[in-house]
Amino acid sequence: MRIADMDWRMVEDWVRHDDRCILPLGSTEQHAGLSLATDAILSERIAIEAAEPLGIPVFPVLPYGLTPYFSGFSGTMTLRVATYAAVLKDLLDSLKTTGFRRVLIVNGHGGNQPASSLAQEWMMDNPDARVRVHDWWKAPLTAAAVQRIDPVASHASWMENFPWTRLAGVAPTDEAKPMVDVDRMRTLPPFEVRLLLDDGNFGGRYQRDDSEMLEIWDVAVQETRALLESW
C-alpha cells in the first residue's frame, strides 16, 4: 500500500503486526527520449505492484540520486555522495523510529550503489534492524529475461522504454545505436560525456514490442515480491 494512501494511525496499526516496508530510490537524469524521471518512475512502480497483494507500505520514491556524469545534460539533478549518504541515513533512522525493522530498498539507478555500503554501515549501528538493497533491473531473473529478449540493452535504450516512461509526441527511431565505450566514458568530465553520448542512449535499440516489455515487467514484479515474502 502506498504511504500516500495512508494516515499515521494506519501506519501505527501496521507496525503492530508487521515491520516490513519499502523505500524506492530513483534519479532525475537524462534518458535520451524517455522521461528524466525514468529511474524514479520504474523503481516506485515496481515497489507498489510487488507490495500490493501483501499490503506492505511503500514510501514515496527518493527522486534524486548520484549522477554527476550526466550533469552536462539539461534537467539532470545530482546529489553529492556525502549528501546522499546523509539523506539515506536520516530516512532509515526515521523508519526505525516509526517501528519498521525490515526495509527493502528498491533501487532504480546504477549510480546509487553507495546505498548498499550505507545500508551495511547503518546495520552495524542498528543490529536489531535489516536493510536489503534490491537493484530491480539487474536481479538474476529479471536480468535473464532481458538477455533472452535482446542482449544489447543499456541506459536509455529499449530496456527502459516502458509505456509509463515514454513521453507524448516523442517517437523513437527504429534504428539501433552502436554501443558507446562505457569504460572510456567513465574517465570523462560531464561536458565530454555529453559529446560522446550525443542523445544520451548508451547503445542498442530504442524500443521493442510492448509484449516483450510487459514480460520483463512481470518477472521484475514477481522477483521483487519474492524478496518480501521470504522475509
34 vs 28: CA distance, rounded Å? 11
Helix (H) or strand (E) holding 37: none
Report the chain's terminal Cα–Cα distance, integer Å. 17
Band (13; pLDDT cuts 50, 70, 90): very high
In this predicted model, what pLDDT tens digit does every residue of 73-89 receive, in sequence order? 999 999 999 999 999 99
Ranges assigned E (strand) in the chain? 20-25, 102-107, 130-135, 176-177, 204-205
SS3 90: helix
Residues in the chain: 231
In this predicted model, what pLDDT tens digit does every residue of 151-190 receive, in sequence order? 999 999 999 999 999 999 998 888 899 999 999 999 999 9
Count Cβ neighbours within 10 Å for each residue of 68-91 and write b for 16 or more, e otherwise.
bbbbbbeebebbeeeebbeebeeb
Q: Which residue has the cell 509505456?
A: 163
**CATH number of the domain at 3-230, please?**
3.40.50.10310
Model confidence pTM above 0.85: yes
187 vs 214: CA distance, rounded Å? 35
205 vs 5: CA distance, rounded Å? 38
Residue 114 has pLDDT above 90, yes or no: yes
SS3 2: strand
The pLDDT value given to residue 77: 98
Residue ranges per structural domain of the chain: 3-230
C-alpha distances (whole Å) from 94 to each of 7, 90, 100, 126, 155 are 16, 6, 9, 13, 32
Band (66; pLDDT cuts 50, 70, 90): very high
